Chains A and B, each alone.
Chain A
């Protein structure tokens, strides 16, 4: 039995699967496996797992490297500028300390934080309104959308979120740094309100969904071509993400 060497331990068996043993030890373990068919079957399965992982996930390598990554070459390091730090501090102080600064710092040069801040302020201002929640009611949706599109100088849409339990209440125009902004308000059967804030995309470009939270108010915000969006509500992150995706998909059919 001396050619077999010591009985292989679990780590060596794994290393056998991954081809991370030297030739001599591999030969010994092959001999040992000849006498231990259960172990041999397990290891064969593990090898097949590796192969299956490759086969299953190989196509993910073929996605084109988008502009987003090429742009990194020109991207600034993400150490925030002094004024950005000041803005965050002001925000943290001003908003009662609830903002997740971490999300901000992860968000990169075009953070869109001002967008989220404005959208949350607008949400807080109008979500509790009974009589004047909106300027133009959903019954005049066509007019509402046409009016806001005209003022934002680009077509805007009020997504239909009924499938997710939220009906359009209506909308209003708001002042923003970039010019007029739009707010669409939605409500579910329990009276919970969501707002979709839309303004002209100040810095251009597109971003993925970003998340921010202040207390129980959650925000997903993103930029997409000529417009920037923020969806605000007192729902959990998961639910709001679903709504944000639905919104995005309707705006980009």
Chain B
């Protein structure tokens, strides 16, 4: 194993997860995306500004490929129900304020793509606002407004939608 790969490997699971949610659990396409990201990263290794945040850099590459190639090239991918993909998700939630996981997972997919990306990068992947801005290539102010709108919309969907709305998958 090369040193590059050793450094990259720990980030593969979260890159794949992010790609899976972006691409609505389409395993083939999300693994294509991650593979393209990793190949590009390893061939453009000199562009990684050390000591920089490798994980944020990898997410930046993945994001760019997604926005430039995948999103453009494809019409909406098939929607694969998370339920089908991960039977475990049907387990009733016990944690937190008890938001129903399945409803949250589905509502996230109904957010505008830009809001979904930011919400995932910050709420799930734990990036700072500055890192999210770098990854998405937008100003921090835009990150904040997308985050705020996304959260409000998610809350509205979960509050009003309950059954009918939350199950309507676009």
Contacts and interface: CB of A to CB of B under 8 A. Distances in A.
Given A65-B12, A237-B75, A238-B75, A77 B42 contact: yes
A68 to B, nearest CB: 7
Contacts of B101: 52, 55-56
B57 to A, nearest CB: 16
A127 to B, nearest CB: 23
Contacts of B155: 42, 45-46, 49
Contact of B93 (A52, A208, A245): A52
Contact of A49 (B78, B93, B144, B154): B154
**Secondary structure type dominating chain A contacts:** helix
A60 B21 contact: yes
B166 to A, nearest CB: 12
B81 interface: no
Given A14-B144, A49-B123, A238 B96 contact: no
Contacts of A242: 78
Contacts of B123: 18, 49-50, 53
**Secondary structure type dominating chain B contacts:** helix
A208 B29 contact: yes
A117 B1 CA distance: 35
Interface string B148-167: 10011011000000000000
A51 B20 CA distance: 18
Nearest to A50: B123
Interface residues of B, number: 61
Interface residues of A, number: 52
A69 interface: yes
Contacts of A10: 144-145, 148
A166 B145 CA distance: 48
Nearest to B2: A73
A52 B96 contact: yes
Contact of B104 (A14, A20, A52, A237): A52
B151 to A, nearest CB: 5
A56 B151 contact: no
Max count, chain B CB within 10 A of own CB: residue among A47, A50, A72, A78? A72
Contacts of B84: none
A100 interface: yes
B5 A18 contact: no
Contacts of B32: 106, 208
A63 B5 CA distance: 18
A103 B72 CA distance: 11
A226 interface: no
Contact of A53 (B35, B86, B104, B144): B104
Given A49-B155, A53-B124, A69-B35, A63 B16 contact: yes
Interface string A1-23: 00000000011011101101000
Given A20-B128, A49-B154, A78 B43 contact: yes
Contacts of A126: none
8 contacts: A42-B155, A46-B151, A60-B21, A68-B35, A75-B42, A106-B32, A238-B75, A238-B76
Given A18-B129, A50-B124, 13 more contacts: A11-B148, A42-B155, A44-B97, A45-B151, A46-B151, A51-B99, A57-B17, A61-B14, A69-B34, A78-B43, A208-B31, A237-B74, A237-B75
